[in-house]
Amino acid sequence: MYFNKSIFQTKLIIIFFSLLYASVSFAKDSEKFINGLIQKMTLEEKVGQMNQYSSFFDVTGPPPNDDNAKHKYDQIRSGLVGSVLNVKGVKEVRAMQELAVNNSRLGIPLIFGFDVIHGYKTITPIPLAESASWDLKAIELSARFAATEASAAGLNWTFAPMVDISRDARWGRVMEGAGEDPYLGSQVAIARVKGFQGTDLSATNTIAACAKHFAAYGFAEAGRDYNTADIGTSTLHNIILPPFKAAAKAGVKTFMNSFNELNGIPATGDPYLQRELLKGAWGFSGFVVSDWGSIDQMIPHGFAEDGVHAAKIAVHSGSDMDMESYHYVKHLANLVNDGKVDIQLIDDAVKRILTVKYELGLFDDPYHYCNEKREKELTFQEDCTAAALDLAKKSIVLLKNDNNILPLAKKNLHIALIGPLANEKNSPLGSWRGAVDANTAISVLEGMEEYKGNKVNYSKGVDLTVGETSFIREININETVRTGMDGAIEIAKKCGVVVLVLGEHGFQTAEGRSRTVLDLPGLQQELMEKIYAVNKNIVLVLMNGRPLVIPWADEHIPAIVEAWHLGSQSGNAIASVLYGDYNPSGKLTMSFPRNEGQIPIYYNHKNTGRPDPSDMVFWSHYSDESNDPLYPFGYGLSYTSFTYSDLDVQSSNETNQVTVRVTVTNSGDKFGEEVVQLYIRDLFASITRPVKELKGFEKVGLEPGQQKDITFVLREADFSFYDNRGRFVFEPGEFDVMVGGSSKEWLKYSFEF
C-alpha cells in the first residue's frame, strides 16, 4: 500500500493544532466561567470555598442535633463549605451535594476528598510495598483501579500520592511512601498521579490527586511523628523536593502541606515552600489544602498568636483550603474587611479551587460521579482484583533462601503454619485502608489451602494486641499470654517444614505509630526461638509496614520473605511465591537497619572525611556495630540468579549524553525478573555528593540462560545537583557509573564528563 508521508505529516499537524485549540479553548471557557462566578460571590461565599470539613453526620439520616455538627450542616446549606472529606458511597455523596447545591445561593458544588492511599474497596499493597515492585506500569494501574472504584463511589479527590522521602523506619508513616530514594520516589509519584488523574479529569473514572506532605514531614527528628524537621538546603533540594516537583510537573491538581515545622517555620505557614517555590518557580496552578488542623497547630508550634493570626499567616503563605481548623471560615472575612488580608489572595485561592472543580466537571453536573448502577458495576471488578494480586506478588522481596528451601514442594509436605498473622484477614489490609470492609483479606492460611497436595497444620502461637482501628491507641499490654505457644511447638515438632508468619499488625504502622524499638512486637521473637529449637526448617514470612530489626532471624532462619501488608489478595500472593508459581522479583526501597542505633541509615549517604577502616579508632564507624544495613536499598533475591557483564559507557560531548550498556544473563534454571539498577557517583564537587545515586532502572524478565542488553541514556541533568543556594548546577569532572542488582553489588566504570 502506498504511504504518502506528506499527507500523514499534514494529518499529524492538524491533530496537534486541534488538540491545542481544544485545550486553549477549554482553558478560556473555564477562565471565563470562573471569573464570572467569582464576581457574583460575596466575601463570605469566597471564604466558604476555602473551608473543608470532615463528614460529621449520617448525611442520609436526619439533620444532626449536636451543636458543632448542626453548625457545619447549616454552613453547607449556606454555601460556607467548599469541600468535605470522609463522605463515601454514592447515596451519602449525593445527599451531601444536594445539601450544598440545592440550598446555597449560588449552588456551587462541593469537592469530595478521601484518603485513597492504596485502593478504595479492593485494597492493594501499601505504598512502601508496591514501590518494592519497581514496576511503574503496575503501580500506575493500581492507582487507576483505585480511582475507578473511588469515583464510582462518588468521590472526586484523593489525598495521595504521599511522596515523603524518609530514612527513618521509626516513623510509622514510611508505609505510605516509596522509601528513601528521590529518583525512585519521583518515578512512583508520576505513575500514581497519572493513574489517579488519567488524561481527562472530567471523566467519571478519574479523580484529582494530591502530592503530600509538603514538605520534609519524613525527616521528623528521631522518627517521632509530627516532630521538628531541621535540615540543610542540600538535603531539602536534592532529596526531599524532587518527588514533589515531579508530581507538580506530572500535573497533580492539589498539594497538601505538612504538620511539621521546617527549619523553624511550620510548613503550613511557609511562603517559601508554597508561594516562592511551588506556585512561583514550579508554576503550580492547582490548590494547596492544609493538613488536618495544621493551620490551628501553628499556635502550639509557637508560630501564631491565636486563630486570627494563624489564618492570616496561612493565607499569606499560600494555604488555599483549611482542613478542619475552622479559622478560615471564622476569621478571613474580618481580616479582609480590616485590611489585613488582601482580597487578591482570597480570589487567587478561590480561583484555584473552583478551577479544579470545573475540570472535574462538577459545574456541568454536580452528580455525574453519583451513579449507583456504576458504583455496583465498577466495585470489585475481576480485572481490579487480578491487578491487585499481580502487584502483591511483585511487591514481595525474598531476603534469604539458604539451601534453596524455597520454593516449597507442592505435595507430600506436612507444613506447620504458625504465627499471629498466619490466619489474619484484617492486618494485611494495612493502615489507610480506604473504604474496605474489615477482615476481608485472603489470609496466608487460605492462600496455602488452595494448594491441595500438602497438609497444613495451623497454630496461632501468640496474640498480637492492637487497637480496634488504626487510630485507636493500643493499650500498652505486655503480652503475657503464652498458652498458645505449647500447641505451636508441638505442631512444629511433627512437621517437615514450618511457615512462620510474624510481623507488625496493620494498625501498628502509619500516622501516630512511631516506634523506638523495631523488633517483632509482643512475644513473637520468643515464639520464633522456641519453634527454632524444635525445627530449624523454617520459612519466616514477615508482614510489616516498615523495615524491622531482625538480626537473630537473619542469623538463624534459613528463608525470609518480606511480605509487607499486601492488601486484599495478600494470602494468594504469598502462597504463590512460597510454592514458586511466582518467582519473587521485589527489591527493597528502604534500608533495613541492623539496629535502631544506626538510624537514619540509607544507601545514598556521603563519604565523610574518614571513611576508610583503620586499626585505630579515628575513622567513621561504631565500636559496637557495622556501618552497613542488614539488607540494603535495591536488594532482593530470586529463585534464579542473574549475572552482569560487558558494561560499556560512551560519553559524547557533542550530544552531551552518556550511553550505558550492560548485558544481563539469567544464569539459573527458572524464569525470573531482575531490576537492573543504574547508579552514579560524582567524585568531587562544590558540595559533597553521595557515594552513589540511583539514576535509572529497568525491570526485565529472562528465561533460563537468556541474555539481554540493557541501555540507559544519561543526560547532563542526571549528573547535576542543587547547590546550597537551591541552584541546579552541572559541574564537569570525574564520575563513576555502577550497574547491578542492588546498591551493594554492581559493575563499575569511571570516566570524565
Nearer to ligand GLC, 201 or 211 (CB): 211
Q: How far is the CB of 147 from ligand GLC (least distance, A)?
A: 16
Q: How far is the CB of 507 from ligand GLC (least distance, A)?
A: 15
Nearer to ligand GLC, 46 or 72 (CB): 72
Nearer to ligand GLC, 209 or 702 (CB): 209
d(CA 65, CA 670): 65
Nearer to ligand GLC, 248 or 335 (CB): 248
Q: How far is the CB of 537 from ligand GLC (least distance, A)?
A: 43
Q: How far is the CB of 267 from ligand GLC (least distance, A)?
A: 12
- Catalytic annotation, pick one of 115, 135, 181, 291: 291
d(CA 131, CA 513): 21
Binding to ligand GLC (CB under 6 A) within 35-94 occurs at 85
Chain residue whose CB lies nearest ligand GLC:
159
d(CA 625, CA 632): 15
All residues at 6 or more sequence positions from 663 whose CB lies less than 8 Å from its CB, including other chains: 644, 645, 646, 707, 708, 709, 710
Binding to ligand GLC (CB under 6 A) within 492-511 occurs at 511
Nearer to ligand GLC, 295 or 561 (CB): 295
Going by the DSSP 8-state scheme, the letter that residue 236 receives in this structure is I
Alpha helical stretches, state H, 411-550: 444-449, 483-494, 524-534
Nearer to ligand GLC, 34 or 208 (CB): 208
3-state secondary structure of 501: strand
Dihedral of the alpha carbons of 6, 10, 16, 22, in degrees to the nearest 10 = -170
For the chain, how long is the longest CA-to-CA vector?
A: 81
Q: How far is the CB of 434 from ligand GLC (least distance, A)?
A: 12
Q: How far is the CB of 428 from ligand GLC (least distance, A)?
A: 21
Which of 292, 592, 722, 735 lies at the binding interface for ligand GLC (CB under 6 A)? 292
Half-sphere exposure of 538 (CA within 13 A, CB side): 28
Nearer to ligand GLC, 72 or 212 (CB): 212
Q: Does 212 bind ligand GLC (CB under 6 A)?
A: yes
CA distances from 174 to 193, 298, 512, 736 (A): 19, 24, 11, 30
CA distances from 558 to 398, 402, 456, 573 (A): 11, 5, 20, 21
Nearer to ligand GLC, 114 or 603 (CB): 114
Nearer to ligand GLC, 115 or 181 (CB): 115
Residue at grid coordinates 559524547: 652
Question: Which set of grid coordinates corresponds to residue 272?
Answer: 517559601
Dihedral of the alpha carbons of 650, 651, 655, 656, in degrees to the nearest 10 = 150
All residues at 6 or more sequence positions from 478 whose CB lies less than 8 Å from its CB, including other chains: none
CA distances from 404 to 165, 409, 558 (A): 34, 11, 9
Q: Is 291 a catalytic residue?
A: yes
All residues at 6 or more sequence positions from 556 whose CB lies less than 8 Å from its CB, including other chains: 532, 536
Question: Which set of grid coordinates corresponds to residue 209?
Answer: 490527586
Residues facing 124 on adjacent strands? none
Cα-flanking dihedrals φ and ψ of residue 62, to 5°?
-70, 160
| Per-residue contact flags (x/-) with ligand GLC for residues 94 to 133, judged by CB under 6 A | ---------------------x------------------
Nearer to ligand GLC, 292 or 369 (CB): 292
Task: Give the residue from 247, 316, 237 showing the smallest Cα distance to 284.
Answer: 247
Nearer to ligand GLC, 104 or 470 (CB): 470
Going by the DSSP 8-state scheme, the letter that residue 637 receives in this structure is B
| Per-residue contact flags (x/-) with ligand GLC for residues 504 to 543, judged by CB under 6 A | -------x--------------------------------
Contact 749, 259 (CB under 8 A): no
Which of 180, 291, 359, 674 lies at the binding interface for ligand GLC (CB under 6 A)? 291
Q: Does 164 bind ligand GLC (CB under 6 A)?
A: no
Q: How far is the CB of 734 from ligand GLC (least distance, A)?
A: 42
Cα-flanking dihedrals φ and ψ of residue 683, to 5°?
-70, -30
Burial (CB < 10 A; 0-12, 13-18, 19+), residue 272, is middle
Contact 462, 481 (CB under 8 A): yes
Nearer to ligand GLC, 89 or 419 (CB): 89
The CB density around residue 740, as the number of other CB atoms within 10 Å, is: 22
CA distances from 605 to 131, 439, 526, 598 (A): 20, 41, 35, 13
| Per-residue contact flags (x/-) with ligand GLC for residues 572 to 611, judged by CB under 6 A | ----------------------------------------
Residue at grid coordinates 552497613: 628
Q: How far is the CB of 159 from ligand GLC (least distance, A)?
A: 3
Which of 159, 219, 358, 639 lies at the binding interface for ligand GLC (CB under 6 A)? 159
Q: How far is the CB of 92 from ligand GLC (least distance, A)?
A: 17
Q: How far is the CB of 292 from ligand GLC (least distance, A)?
A: 4
Q: To 5 degrees, how large is the angle CA 697–CA 729–CA 748?
A: 40
Nearer to ligand GLC, 16 or 471 (CB): 471
Q: How far is the CB of 650 from ligand GLC (least distance, A)?
A: 45
Residue at grid coordinates 497454630: 459
Residues facing 401 on adjacent strands? 559
Pair type for strands 51-54 and 83-85 = parallel
Question: Which set of grid coordinates corresponds to residue 522?
Answer: 509482643
Size of the site for ligand GLC (CB under 6 A): 7
Tell me how far the alpha carbon of residue 53 is from its chain's centroid.
24
Contact 212, 254 (CB under 8 A): no
Q: How far is the CB of 367 from ligand GLC (least distance, A)?
A: 24
Crossing angle for the helix pair 382-395 and 136-152, nearest 10 degrees? 140
Q: Does 359 bind ligand GLC (CB under 6 A)?
A: no
Q: How far is the CB of 291 from ligand GLC (least distance, A)?
A: 5
Report, as residue numbers or ranges, the catalytic residues.
Answer: 291
List of residues contacting ligand GLC (CB under 6 A): 85, 115, 159, 212, 291-292, 511
